[in-house]
Amino acid sequence: MRAAIFRGVFDIQVEQIPDATILEPTDAVVRITHASICGTDLWPYRGQGPYQPGWQIGHEWMGIIEDIGSEVQSIKPGDRVIASYDFCDGTCEFCQKGLDSACLQGGLWGYGNEGGQAEAIRARFADATLVALPSSVEADEALLKAILPLTDNMAAGHHAAVSAAVRPGAVVVIIGDGAVGLCGILAAHRLGAERIIILGHQAQRLALARQFGATDVVTSRGEQTLPEVIEMTGGGADAVLECVGSEEAINMAVNMTRPGGTVGFVGAPHGSGQIPLGRMFSSNIGLRGGLAPARAYLPELLGEVLAGRLDPSPILDVTVSLAEVASGYAAMDQRHATKVMVRP
């Protein structure tokens, strides 16, 4: 089978690798029909963070079951399934608590494990990791495209909003106009936020932000941004969704939060990790979030998409074939695309 392989900085190749097969009785083999490139895939692509040449890449995917191991019970060949970006056993202490991202036997697709930008994949812990989609979605390409972001980005946006305790009537600031920030708007809107202020710079993304429910757009840069938001909100937002991960972003998030409010952070931290504890102390600002438990959120968010109440599909603005996957990375790297869908 063919799969996307990380060969080095700015070098993603599609190569022939051994076919996906059942290795454990809890495995399934899935033929991948839809995958996508995540903003975090760009880190190794740009040479940030450890990723070894030869590793498969891609952690966002869905497809059709081709084969199952002897212990798999919840799915059968022919079923269409979606996976969360993290595989998990479904049985450990943390899976039981709905924190699959901390599963004791879990991990991420790619990163030395099987990757999702491929023709097929060996899905570990199939019963726990995969969620079957109703057969009604089968011929509905628009609906499938709306479901795909639930693998990761929509779960992260939702996690940011839940972690920041967004409540009906809340004033919310979203830091980051990438796919996760845009999904954070959908999540905040869904949880009843009254005012949603997005910080970003790209006209196309900010237009989509408005479409998703943002009420205000802030495009200023650097030291101008904080006083602007403080003034707009009369002292800060109830909830700030930090969807970037840089030290500047987390500092801005804490400083934009109203006393007693909460920052929901889902941007993977890169930088020295300094946070303004003094401001958090003096103003009782909470900081929650982290790696989203996407598998735990899947049933709820899937229900919303199937009911027509949630549609993150516009974040997928470019589609490529597996053979063209390298061009998808380049498009996202050069910001010609917000997010790329891959059709193996």
**What are 70's two structure tokens?**
């002897």
Q: Shortest gap between Cβ of 102 and Zn ion (angstroms)?
A: 8
Q: For Zn ion, which is the closer residue by CB, 88 or 244?
A: 88
Among 155, 119, 105, smallest CA distance to 305 is for: 155
Q: Shortest gap between Cβ of 158 and Zn ion (angstroms)?
A: 20
Strand 120-123 versus strand 60-68 pairing type: unpaired
Strand 130-132 versus strand 120-123 pairing type: unpaired
Q: For Zn ion, which is the closer residue by CB, 51 or 85?
A: 85
Tokens 């650097």 found at? 222
Task: Name 32's bridge partners.
Answer: 63
Q: Shortest gap between Cβ of 96 and Zn ion (angstroms)?
A: 8
Q: For Zn ion, which is the closer residue by CB, 102 or 268?
A: 102
Q: For Zn ion, which is the closer residue by CB, 124 or 205?
A: 124
Among 31, 34, 120, 124, smallest CA distance to 79 is for: 31
Q: Shortest gap between Cβ of 95 and Zn ion (angstroms)?
A: 3
Strand 318-321 versus strand 195-199 pairing type: unpaired
> Would you tell me which residues interact with Zn ion (CB under 5 A)?
88-89, 92, 95, 103
| 206 SS3 class | helix
96 near 305, Cβ under 8 Å?
no
Q: Shortest gap between Cβ of 28 and Zn ion (angstroms)?
A: 17
Q: For Zn ion, which is the closer residue by CB, 92 or 306?
A: 92
Among 117, 115, 111, smallest CA distance to 50 is for: 111
Residues in the chain: 344
Q: For Zn ion, which is the closer residue by CB, 123 or 340?
A: 123
